């Protein structure tokens, strides 16, 4: 995790435009199993959520997942179940 922490210190808090965020996310180069745990058990996603919490592009990542209805994995610090909840809340408040 020290590499992740080291990369997080070099990122700016600004939101990169377009799809550039995918090239500078802290998840880039990480073990995909961390972000795509085998089970639907949200507790297995804690390591991914920790990495996401340090990432400067967490918000555009989450918005991408919401807009594209990503069905699997942790995106922007949220599991599929958590993203569905966000989408429901947005629909209700619209």
- Nearest alpha-carbon partner for 72 in 46, 31, 27, 36: 36
Q: Is 79 exposed, middle or buried (0-12, 13-18, 19+ CB in 10 A)?
A: buried
Q: Domain locations in the chain?
A: 2-93
pLDDT tens per residue across span 16-50 = 456 788 899 999 999 999 999 887 778 889 999 99
In whole angstroms, what is the distance from residue 73 CA to residue 41 CA? 11
Is the confidence at residue 12, as pLDDT, over 70?
no
pLDDT tens per residue across span 65-84 = 999 999 999 999 999 999 99
Tokens of 23: 């090239």
Is the confidence at residue 5, as pLDDT, over 60?
no
């Amino acid at each position: 995790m020290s590499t992740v922490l080291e990369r997080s210190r070099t990122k700016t808090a600004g939101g990169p435009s377009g799809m550039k965020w995918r090239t500078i996310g802290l998840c880039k180069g990480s073990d995909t199993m961390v972000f795509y745990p085998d089970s639907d058990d949200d507790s297995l996603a804690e390591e991914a959520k920790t990495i996401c919490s340090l990432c400067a592009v967490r918000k555009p990542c989450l918005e991408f997942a919401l807009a594209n209805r990503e069905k699997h994995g942790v995106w922007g610090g949220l599991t599929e179940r958590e993203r569905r909840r966000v989408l429901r809340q947005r629909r209700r408040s619209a």
